[in-house]
């Protein structure tokens, strides 16, 4: 299954419940004030948030007026363009460190450990060499689960005893990866908001020891959010961003929610780019986020995007634990 088809399947609940209705509104052809009001209401129902929905509609009105758009198809294309623009990051996510060290943060239960495994699978499929670091030393189950996934993904993992210093684990992993010439170190971290000051201190310490282990290493901090929680994920995310200085987001379980509009709200309200999205339970169901493909998939019809053919098909995926 191709990238677009997989993303389209992942957004099916959102599209069927909300954005399908929006597409039908545009199919009516006539652009009226009532259409704008209905559009804003539907966007709110899709969990974009009232302020983001209002911004989208106002920007759409401006574009319709400036470009003298007449038909529903033209207006829908304009809306897709606005969504794409809002979701496009200022800079791409590049693995250009020696190595790149990715700290994965987030509360327990959002799919953090499996996201790490899926990232490892994604990168190895791109020809990158990967090492995992079991930095969540407070939960023995987290270390054991990560070890299982490291074996499945065929990548090495550095671990210490339960309760060890997380920074020491990451330090050893970076030193080992540097010595072996590996491309990426993906480090798990404790999934808790036990105390903002302590969390900030712990993650700052990890960043410091990364650069001590290798001054040329690049550090990215990816926050894992569960898309099923929608708007509720935003307040949780702010806590982590304030404490940990996240540089991007992994959004899991996008296939399990009818409120995929939260993706737009998360980017607009947090100012962080969505870097990866999970659209299924298989190990290959974590994908690099493509704003234009996302906008197209939101409005996918039976005939495909913008009237083009698209066979979504069915595939089986390997179940994984959260």
Report yes or no on 192 lying in a domain. Answer: yes
Q: Tell me, what CATH number does 173's domain have? A: 3.40.50.300
Report yes or no on 318 lying in a domain. Answer: no
Report yes or no on 315 lying in a domain. Answer: no
Report yes or no on 255 lying in a domain. Answer: yes
Instruction: Examine the domain organization and report whether 186 and 244 are in the same domain.
Output: yes
Query: Which has the higher per-residue pLDDT, 47 or 89?
Result: 89
The SS3 of residue 305 is helix
Instruction: Examine the domain organization and report whether 59 and 107 are in the same domain.
Output: no
Instruction: Examine the domain organization and report whether 81 and 126 are in the same domain.
Output: no
Candidate from 125-139, 188-202, 226-240, 244-258 with smallest mean pLDDT: 188-202
Instruction: Examine the domain organization and report whether 142 and 15 are in the same domain.
Output: no
In DSSP notation, 21-61 reads HHHHHHHT----HHHHHHHHHHHHHTTS-HHHHHHHHHHHH
Mean pLDDT within 138-155: 88
CA distances from 131 to 12, 85, 97, 221, 267 (A): 34, 34, 14, 16, 29
Instruction: Examine the domain organization and report whether 81 and 189 are in the same domain.
Output: no
Candidate from 14-18, 28-32, 72-76, 309-313 with smallest mean pLDDT: 309-313
The SS3 of residue 284 is coil
Mean pLDDT within 150-164: 91
Report yes or no on 9 lying in a domain. Answer: yes
Residue 172's pLDDT band (boundaries 50, 70, 90)?
A: very high
Domain that holds residue 51: 3-89+297-302
Count CB-CB contacts under 10 A for residue 38. 15
Instruction: Examine the domain organization and report whether 172 and 61 are in the same domain.
Output: no
Q: Spell out a b/e string for 290-307, using b for 16 or more CB atoms within 10 Å of the CB, else e.
A: bbebbbbbbbbeeebbee
Return the pLDDT at 45.
84
Q: Tell me, what CATH number does 28's domain have? A: 1.20.120.140
Q: Which two tokens stand for residue 213?
A: 């282990």
Element (H, E) at 112: helix 112-125
CA distances from 194 to 41, 65, 115, 156, 240 (A): 37, 50, 22, 29, 11
Non-local CB neighbours of 179 within 8 Å, separated by 6+ positions: none
Mean pLDDT, the chain, integer: 84
Q: Using only C-alpha atoms, what is the Rg of the chain?
A: 21
Instruction: Examine the domain organization and report whether 250 and 198 are in the same domain.
Output: yes
Return the pLDDT at 29.
64
Mean pLDDT within 143-164: 91
Candidate from 115-124, 222-231, 313-322 with smallest mean pLDDT: 313-322
In the chain, pLDDT over 90 holds for what percent of residues?
Answer: 41
Using the 8-state DSSP alphabet, how is residue 227 labeled?
G
Instruction: Examine the domain organization and report whether 192 and 275 are in the same domain.
Output: yes
Report yes or no on 322 lying in a domain. Answer: no
Contacts 24+ apart (CB under 8 A), 214-217: 214/98, 214/99, 214/174, 214/175, 214/178, 216/97, 216/98, 217/97, 217/98, 217/99, 217/100, 217/101, 217/174, 217/178, 217/185
Instruction: Examine the domain organization and report whether 166 and 275 are in the same domain.
Output: yes
Instruction: Examine the domain organization and report whether 148 and 282 are in the same domain.
Output: yes
Give the tens place of pLDDT for each residue, 43-57: 888 888 899 999 999
Instruction: Examine the domain organization and report whether 24 and 142 are in the same domain.
Output: no
In the chain, pLDDT over 70 holds for what percent of residues?
Answer: 89
Q: What whole-number distance in Å separates Cα of residue 234 and Cα of residue 238? A: 6
Report yes or no on 319 lying in a domain. Answer: no
Instruction: Examine the domain organization and report whether 106 and 199 are in the same domain.
Output: yes
Report yes or no on 160 lying in a domain. Answer: yes
Total number of domains constituting the chain: 2
pTM over 0.75: yes
Are the C-beta atoms of residues 55 and 39 closer than 8 Å to each other? no
């Amino acid at each position: 299954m191709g990238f677009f088809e997989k993303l389209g399947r992942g957004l099916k609940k959102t599209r069927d419940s909300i954005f399908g209705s929006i597409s039908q509104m545009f199919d009516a052809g006539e652009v009226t004030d009532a259409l704008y009001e209905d559009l804003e209401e539907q966007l709110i129902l899709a969990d974009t948030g009232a302020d983001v929905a209002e911004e989208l509609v106002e920007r759409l009105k401006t574009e319709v007026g400036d470009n003298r758009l007449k038909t529903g198809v033209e207006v829908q294309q304009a809306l897709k363009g606005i969504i794409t623009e809002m979701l496009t990051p200022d800079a791409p996510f590049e693995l250009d460190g020696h190595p790149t060290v990715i700290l994965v943060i987030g509360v327990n239960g959002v799919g953090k450990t499996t996201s790490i495994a899926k990232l490892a699978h994604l990168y190895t499929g791109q020809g990158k060499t990967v090492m995992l670091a079991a930095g969540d030393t407070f939960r023995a189950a987290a270390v054991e689960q990560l070890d299982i996934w490291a074996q499945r993904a065929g990548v090495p993992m550095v671990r210490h005893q339960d309760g060890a210093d997380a920074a020491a684990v990451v330090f050893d992993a970076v030193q080992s990866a540097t010595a072996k010439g590996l491309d990426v170190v993906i480090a798990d971290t404790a999934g808790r908001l036990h105390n903002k000051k302590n969390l900030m201190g712990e993650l700052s310490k990890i960043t410091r020891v990364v650069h001590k282990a290798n001054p040329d290493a690049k550090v990215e901090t990816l926050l894992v959010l569960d898309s099923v929680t929608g708007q509720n994920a935003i307040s949780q995310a702010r806590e982590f961003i304030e404490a940990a200085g996240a540089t991007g987001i992994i959004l899991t379980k996008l296939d399990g929610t009818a409120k995929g509009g939260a993706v737009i709200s998360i980017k607009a309200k947090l100012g962080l780019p969505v870097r990866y999205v999970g659209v299924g339970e298989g190990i290959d169901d974590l994908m690099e986020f493509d704003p234009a493909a996302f906008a197209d998939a939101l409005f996918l019809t039976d005939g495909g995007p913008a009237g083009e053919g698209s066979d979504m098909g069915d595939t089986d995926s390997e179940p994984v634990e959260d």
